[in-house]
Amino acid sequence: MHSHQFSTTTLKITASLCISLCAEETVSDSKNKLDDILNLIKVNQKQYAFCVIRAAIDNEQGEEELSFCRIDFQTGNDRPADAVYDYGNFKLIQKSVGIEDAIGILTKIKEHNSVHLDNKDLKFQTIGSIGYYFIPSDTSYALIETEWPTHYFYFGIGRNGGSKQVSYRELPAKPKIPYYTTKMQAVVDFAGLRSDISNMYSEMIVVVQDFRAKIKELTLTGNELNVEVTDSGFLKADEIIVKFYCKRGDEKRQYSQDVKLKDNKMARFVPDFEPDFVDAVIVDLTSCDTIDKKSFGGWHGRQKGVVIRTPQSHITEIIAKGESSIVEFKTSLRSTIDILQTIVSFANTEGGMIIVGVDDRGNPRGFYEDGEAAIKSLTGLIHGNCDPVIEPKIERAQINGIPILIIRIPEGKDKPYILADKGIYIREGASDRQIDRRRLNEMYEKKLSRH
C-alpha cells in the first residue's frame, strides 16, 4: 500500500460520485467539507511538492476585499516565484508555499474565514455551502481546464451576506507589471481560468489534482475499444485496471470485467455491438480508488482524448443505405446553416452522423478543404449558434482512397437545442424540420420528469 494514495473514505464521497463527471455535492456544514479538503491533502501529502495561491484583492469601495482566490496543489520542481502586482485600487498576488504551510492556510480559512495575503489577514464571508466536482483529465469544466484528474472544491465569498460579481472596470497600464484590459480579464488570465469565461462571481476554489495516472486516450473503432494510460511514476502498471461500460440505445448494455494493462499501457475491450455510449475508468488496485474517466456519447463536458475511427467497411455500408433519420450527406461544409440545422435536429432526436464529401445519391466526391481549419471553424459555429452547446465528434476518414469528413452528433441530454435566429429543429426521416407545439411539449415533459 502506497502512503500517497487517495482515500475515498477520507473524502466521504460515494463511489458513484467519484466516477461521475460534474456530480455536485452540497452539505449544510461547510466546515465539514473544509475538513474533507484538509484530510485529502494530508493523506496524499507525498504526492505534492508545493501549493500556489493566486488571489485578486479589490479596493473599489475604499476597503480591501477578496475578489477571487485559487489554491492549487502541484507536483514537480517548477515552483513559481511570488509576485504582487499593484494597480492602485486592485491587486494581484501570487504566493507559493510548502504543503505544511498550505495546510495551515486552509485551517485558517476553516476556523477564521480569513486568508493571509500581502502580510495581512483578509477576512471574507462564505456564501452558501461548499460545492464539489470530480473533473476527469483533459476536460474543460467549471472555471478550469484540467490536465490530470482533479478534485475541485468551490464556494462563494463576499461581505454582508451576498456574493459579488467580479468587476469589469478597466485597469491602468503601469510599468513593470502585466497589463490587463479589465479586472475581470486580469482574474481570468492571472488565475489560469478558462479563456471563454465572460463573467463570474467572487469565489474561492481549491484545485487538488491526482497525479497517479490518467487516461491519455479512449479510442472507439467499430465495436473495439482501446484505452491508453499515462502515469507519473506513483503507480506500477500492474496496480492499475481499466473497466468499461457500453450501451447502444435503450436495449443493449454490456460491461467488462477487470482489464489489465498490456504493452505500452494499453487496455482493450470488444463488446458484442457497436456502442453509442462508452464509459471507461481506471482504478488503483491498491486502494480501490477510481482515478480517472473518459466517456463517449454522454454528457461529459469538453473532454479531449476521445477518438472515433470508423472502419471503411462500415462507412461503405452506411453510405450504401442512403440518407435516413440518423444519416445525412453533405458535399462540403460551405452551406453552414444547413449543416447547423442538421446538427441541432440530430441532437433533438436520436443523434446521427453527417458524412461530408458525399452527394445526395451516395457518390463520394471527396472532402478537400483544409481539414484542421474547417473543423475549427465548424466547432466555433456550433458553440456560437447552438444553445445549449452541442459537442460533436469529428473524424477524417477515407473511402476507396477518397477523403471524407464524418461528424457524429450524440442525442442531446439537455433538449431542446435551439439554433440561433432559426429555432428548434428535429429529424423526421431524412429531413430536418422545425418542431411543432405537440413535440415541443413532449420534450419539456420528459425533461421535467427526469428532473
Cβ-based neighbours of 102, under 8 Å, separated by 6 or more: 41, 50, 51, 53, 71, 73
Give a yes or no: residue 3 inside a domain: no
Pair 205, 86 in one domain: yes
Q: Which CATH number do you get for residue 372?
A: 3.30.950.30
Pair 98, 152 in one domain: yes
In whole angstroms, give the CA distance from residue 101 to residue 168: 33
In whole angstroms, give the CA distance from residue 150 to residue 147: 8
> For position 1, what pLDDT does the model report?
36
Pair 180, 219 in one domain: no
Cβ-based neighbours of 338, under 8 Å, separated by 6 or more: 330
Cβ-based neighbours of 282, under 8 Å, separated by 6 or more: 213, 214, 215, 227, 229, 240, 241, 242, 290, 291, 292, 293
Give a yes or no: residue 1 inside a domain: no
In whole angstroms, give the CA distance from residue 188 to residue 101: 25
DSSP tag of 239: G
- The answer to whether residues 288 and 8 touch, using CB atoms and an 8 Å cutoff, is yes
Cβ-based neighbours of 369, under 8 Å, separated by 6 or more: 332, 333
Pair 337, 292 in one domain: no
Low-confidence residues in the chain, pLDDT < 50: 1-28
Give a yes or no: residue 2 inside a domain: no
Q: Is the pTM of this model over 0.95?
A: no
pLDDT in tens, 368-385: 988 788 888 998 999 899
Give a yes or no: residue 343 inside a domain: yes
Pair 203, 217 in one domain: no
Pair 49, 198 in one domain: yes
Pair 232, 163 in one domain: no
> Which of 209, 233, 255 is a domain's end point?
209
DSSP tag of 180: -
Query: Taking the C-alpha atoms of 107, 202, 135 and 447 in order, what is their torsion angle to the nearest 10 degrees?
Result: 130
Handedness of CA 21, 25, 30, 31 (dihedral sign): negative
The three cell numbers of residue 300 are: 461529459
Pair 35, 165 in one domain: yes
Q: What are phi and psi of 135, to 5 degrees?
A: -110, 120
Q: What are phi and psi of 350, to 5 degrees?
A: -115, 15
The three cell numbers of residue 397 are: 476518414
Give a yes or no: residue 397 inside a domain: yes
Pair 411, 360 in one domain: yes
Q: Which CATH number do you get for residue 293?
A: 2.60.40.730
> Which of 177, 209, 241 is a domain's end point?
209
Give a yes or no: residue 381 inside a domain: yes
> For position 96, what pLDDT does the model report?
96
DSSP tag of 419: E
pLDDT in tens, 22-76: 334 443 456 678 888 898 898 888 899 999 999 999 988 778 899 999 999 999 8
pLDDT in tens, 328-346: 999 999 888 999 999 999 9
The three cell numbers of residue 429 are: 426521416
Give a yes or no: residue 345 inside a domain: yes
- Half-sphere exposure for 2 (CA within 13 Å, toward CB): 20
Handedness of CA 348, 352, 357, 362 (dihedral sign): negative
Domain that holds residue 286: 213-309
Alpha carbon of residue 76 to chain centroid: 24
Pair 234, 363 in one domain: no
Total domain count, the chain: 3
Pair 347, 280 in one domain: no
Give a yes or no: residue 138 inside a domain: yes
Pair 369, 328 in one domain: yes
Give Cα separations from 163 to 78, 169, 203 (angstroms): 34, 18, 8
> Which of 250, 276, 309 is a domain's end point?
309
Helix axes 336-348, 371-385, angle to 10 degrees: 60
In whole angstroms, give the CA distance from residue 180 to residue 289: 41
